[in-house]
């Protein structure tokens, strides 16, 4: 068994909002059912609620981290809206994922023995759509 620490939670301000959800083998990680700790104080939890969940994983387990970020009156922040797919392997060295402007500012988004299989942002999806729209075979 390998321990993986992941952040789940949300942030709402006048300027922007953010939601981080995690699934382990296609099951949602719920902060009520996981061991871990709150990163935000009780008085802040109506606008910011970040939880560092400890996941007990086996080699081969798949963790998906979904991050959705929106800016008021501008829409989706395409650089900070993404999906990361991780595969747990107890033989790998300890890795850490830190993304500027995502999650609680002093903690990594994920830490443990895993490899990153895929990371696709909204910006990447837009580029792929443009490339497929301009593909030579289409004309």
Contact 9, 69 (CB under 8 A): no
The end-to-end CA distance of the chain, in Å, is 52
Note if the pTM is more than 0.85.
no
pLDDT string in tens for the chain (139-residue length)? 788 999 999 999 889 999 999 998 888 887 666 788 888 888 888 899 999 999 888 899 999 999 999 999 898 888 889 999 999 999 999 999 998 888 888 889 999 999 988 888 888 888 888 888 877 776 7
- Count of C-beta atoms within a 10 Å radius of residue 129: 10
Could you tell me the two tokens for 116? 């990153």
Contact 36, 53 (CB under 8 A): yes
Residues facing 52 on adjacent strands? 7, 37
């Amino acid at each position: 068994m390998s321990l993986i620490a992941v952040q789940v939670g949300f942030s709402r301000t006048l300027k922007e909002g953010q939601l981080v959800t995690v699934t382990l083998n296609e099951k949602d990680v719920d902060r009520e059912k996981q061991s871990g700790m709150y990163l935000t104080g009780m008085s802040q939890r109506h606008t910011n609620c970040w939880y560092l969940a400890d996941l007990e994983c086996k080699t081969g387990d798949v963790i998906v981290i979904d991050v959705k970020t929106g800016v008021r009156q501008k829409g989706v922040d395409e650089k900070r809206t993404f999906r990361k797919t991780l595969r747990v392997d107890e033989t790998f060295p300890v890795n850490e994922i830190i993304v500027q402007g995502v999650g609680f500012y002093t903690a990594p988004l994920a830490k443990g023995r895993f490899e990153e299989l895929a990371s696709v942002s909204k910006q990447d999806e837009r580029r792929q759509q443009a490339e497929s729209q301009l593909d030579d075979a289409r004309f």
